[in-house]
């Protein structure tokens, strides 16, 4: 385990429950031997080791590049293992060697995600968790790619390839061609072909001579209508099957790409308004 959890009291408790443990420990942890805090041992020479035994608990202070403090109820203090035999010989306590070999996966995952993480500060904890899970999935996917794919790439290139494929897949998905109540013609046909206005046919058995539907230009979405009434018209474009006030809305719909924004601009400036559009 990591030094956040390791303490002599915890290791004694686990050992009494027949659960053995090994992990790094912070130098200021309560219950450590006094030799660990001794100023004479504050700066050890490279390769030097300080060992303290208490029942089955072994406390080791080892110096190599930096000081490492270890607690273990698994290892013997006299056991040493070679570390990276192809390089100059460095002898390390067995507990440190085992710790590095077993904890490498967790540390590697944290290290890889730190380089290209997508996490951002947020007041909502669920967003932080979602960002972390996405990073975790990307690392797992990258490890599977390294294991089964003959093509080698670094983690950053793998992320870029995944993003590129997702964007290409999203662009190939067709856009919804209809909204509730009426089907829209493609934008090119709406702006280039000839269209004629006519009355909306009434439903069978209706008392009204002509039908009425919401104008697609001036009506707000149903979720934004709280204090606004529906604005209906009896005219529509028969080819597009879209209800439109005539002539202003009909002209906007067939000549302007973003007709809703243009209608709002004209309404705000008071430049135009259809003759049958209620104020």
Output the CA torsion sign for 256, 260, 264, 270: positive
The whole-number pLDDT of residue 12 equals 93
Compare 171 and 113 and report the one with higher pLDDT: 113
User: Residue 272: is it exposed, middle or buried by C-beta count within 10 angstroms (0-12/13-18/19+)?
Assistant: middle
Residue 5 has pLDDT above 90, yes or no: no
The whole-number pLDDT of residue 237 equals 84
In the chain, where are the structural domains located?
8-106, 183-269
Residue 241 backbone zone (phi > 0: left; psi -120 to 50: alpha; other: beta): left
User: Residue 182: is it exposed, middle or buried by C-beta count within 10 angstroms (0-12/13-18/19+)?
Assistant: middle
Compare 11 and 178 and report the one with higher pLDDT: 11
pLDDT in tens, 231-267: 778 888 878 888 888 887 888 888 887 777 777 666 6
- % the chain with pLDDT above 90: 8
What is the mean pLDDT of the segment spanning 53-70? 86
pLDDT in tens, 148-171: 988 888 888 898 999 888 888 876
* Cα distance between the two ends of the chain: 72
The whole-number pLDDT of residue 36 equals 76
């Amino acid at each position: 385990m990591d030094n956040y959890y390791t303490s002599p009291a915890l290791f004694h408790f686990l050992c009494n429950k027949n659960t053995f443990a090994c992990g790094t420990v912070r130098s200021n942890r309560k219950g450590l031997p006094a030799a660990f805090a001794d100023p004479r041992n504050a700066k050890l020479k490279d390769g030097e080791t300080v060992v303290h035994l208490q029942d089955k608990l072994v406390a080791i202070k080892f110096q190599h590049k930096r000081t490492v403090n270890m607690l273990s109820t698994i290892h013997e203090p006299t056991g040493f293992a070679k570390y990276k035999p192809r390089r100059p010989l460095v002898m390390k306590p067995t507990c440190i060697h085992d710790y590095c070999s077993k904890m490498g996966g967790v540390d590697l995952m944290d290290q890889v995600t730190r380089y290209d993480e997508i996490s951002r500060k947020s007041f909502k904890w669920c967003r932080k968790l979602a960002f972390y899970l996405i990073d975790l999935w990307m690392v797992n996917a990258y490890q599977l790619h390294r294991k089964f794919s003959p093509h080698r790439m670094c983690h950053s290139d793998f992320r870029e390839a995944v993003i590129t494929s997702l964007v290409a897949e999203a662009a190939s998905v067709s856009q919804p061609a209809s909204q509730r109540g009426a089907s829209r013609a493609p934008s090119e046909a709406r702006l280039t072909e000839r269209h004629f206005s006519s009355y909306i046919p009434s439903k069978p058995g209706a008392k009204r001579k002509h039908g009425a539907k919401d104008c697609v230009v001036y009506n707000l979405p149903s979720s934004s209508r709280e204090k606004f009434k529906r604005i209906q018209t009896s005219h529509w474009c028969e080819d597009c099957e879209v209800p439109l006030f005539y002539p202003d809305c009909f002209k906007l719909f067939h000549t302007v790409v973003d007709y809703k924004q243009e209608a709002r601009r004209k309404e705000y400036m008071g430049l135009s308004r259809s003759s049958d559009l209620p104020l």
